[in-house]
């Protein structure tokens, strides 16, 4: 996990999403077989579809900010994210429409 986030909607790494976008830190999941062997995410080459919201854009009149807040764990569509790398950390920028659910 990155220590990129600070209080407020701006990420301390200097990124503030514009318009209808959110900045998300992907959560890599490891798979464990029945015999206890851990298969890392790098072996499956699948993009994570879950992540932690680091910053939220201001939205627009037509598409206001969804009911999410900084720190929420969200599920998003598989091919939606724009991948960026900041200070060695992989981050995603997603459109509000790509957010599918919030984990409670």
Which CATH number characterizes residue 81's domain?
A: 2.30.33.40
Contacts 24+ apart (CB under 8 A), 29-36: none
Instruction: Tell me, yes or no, whether 46 lies in a domain.
Output: yes
Residue 8 has what pLDDT?
46
Instruction: Tell me, yes or no, whether 97 lies in a domain.
Output: yes
Instruction: Tell me, yes or no, whether 15 lies in a domain.
Output: no
Q: What is the pLDDT of residues 24-71, one digit of tens each?
A: 999 877 677 778 787 765 655 667 789 999 999 999 888 888 889 999
Residue 31 has what pLDDT?
72
Mean of the per-residue pLDDT values of the chain: 82
DSSP state of 34: T
CB atoms within 10 A of CB 47: 15
Residue 41 has what pLDDT?
58
Instruction: Tell me, yes or no, whether 12 lies in a domain.
Output: no
Share of the chain above pLDDT 90, in %: 46
Instruction: Tell me, yes or no, whether 34 lies in a domain.
Output: yes
pLDDT tier, 7 (very low <50, low <70, confident <90, very high otherwise): very low
Instruction: Tell me, yes or no, whether 94 lies in a domain.
Output: yes
Averaged pLDDT for residues 70-81: 93
Rounded to the nearest angstrom, the gap between the alpha carbon of residue 63 and the centroid of all alpha carbons in its chain is 19
Instruction: Tell me, yes or no, whether 13 lies in a domain.
Output: no
Structurally, the chain folds into a number of domains equal to 1
Instruction: Tell me, yes or no, whether 8 lies in a domain.
Output: no
Tokens standing for residue 88:
């060695």
Q: Which domain holds residue 29?
A: 21-102
């Amino acid at each position: 996990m990155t220590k990129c986030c600070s209080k407020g909607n701006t990420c301390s790494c200097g990124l503030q999403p514009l318009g209808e976008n959110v900045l998300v830190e992907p959560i890599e999941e490891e798979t464990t077989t029945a015999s206890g062997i851990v298969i890392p995410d790098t072996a499956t080459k699948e993009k994570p579809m879950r992540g932690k919201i680091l910053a939220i854009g201001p939205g627009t009149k037509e598409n206001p900010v969804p009911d999410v807040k900084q720190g929420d764990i969200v599920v998003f569509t598989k091919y939606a994210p724009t991948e960026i790398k900041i200070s060695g950390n992989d981050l995603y920028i997603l459109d509000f429409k790509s957010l599918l659910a919030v984990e409670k």
